[in-house]
Amino acid sequence: MFTGIIQAVGHISHLTERGGGDARVTIAAGGLDLTDVAIGDSIAVNGVCLTVVERGLEHFSVDVSQETFSCTMGFTPGEAVNLEKALRLADRLGGHLVSGHVDGVGEVVRFDKVGDSMRLDIRAPKAVERYLAPKGSVAVNGVSLTVNRVHGAEFSINLIPHTLDATALKNLGPGDRVNLEADMLARYAERLLAYTQETDKD
């Protein structure tokens, strides 16, 4: 479990194919404190929860399956990635609860300066679109953000200077693809509603 508050921006150092579409990916930690990270711990890489299998002082490695590659983005060598260590029970919840399980890949439609901030418009896939609501939460490449507007499959987010400085979102441009995770509360609400409708028919 994560909060969507990014702790460091690292980059994909290298990728070693392991057959069957799987690979071992090594990530330069970009200043992320790894001294308390053990083998088997979870770290979110661009919003994808991955298990540490090797660790040095300034890098760590994870095994990524073909299934994960097929439904997420962000593992190209040299690419900057948002990093967050797993939430501890004593930590502050500064963002919102993020599971690290990507619901779909969206596409950046617009990324324009508005005053001191940036407006980011993203087109969401069907798997995510129905969970979006104004003032609701969404994770974009692992960053906890507030939805400002929703129009069909597209939604808008305002990125303040601090968010731009502290994350790799500043590198985005139109046409780029991003990992999206819907607010888990919205998913539970949908399931509860569906269950209620099913039981009402019995």
**pLDDT tens digits for range 146-179:** 999 999 999 999 999 999 999 999 999 999 999 9
**CATH for 8-85, among 3.40.50.720, 2.40.30.20, 2.60.40.150, 3.40.50.300?**
2.40.30.20
Supply angle C-alpha 127, 4, 36, rounded to 5.
Answer: 130
Between CA 3 and CA 14 the distance in angstroms is 27
CA 62 to chain CA centroid, Å, is 16
* CATH number for the domain running over 104-190: 2.40.30.20
Domain positions in the chain are 8-85, 104-190
Whether 104-190 and 8-85 are alike in CATH topology: the answer is: yes
> pTM to 2 decimals?
0.92
**pLDDT tens digits for range 24-38:** 999 999 999 999 999
The H or E element containing residue 69 is helix 66-71
Tokens describing residue 185: 């509360």
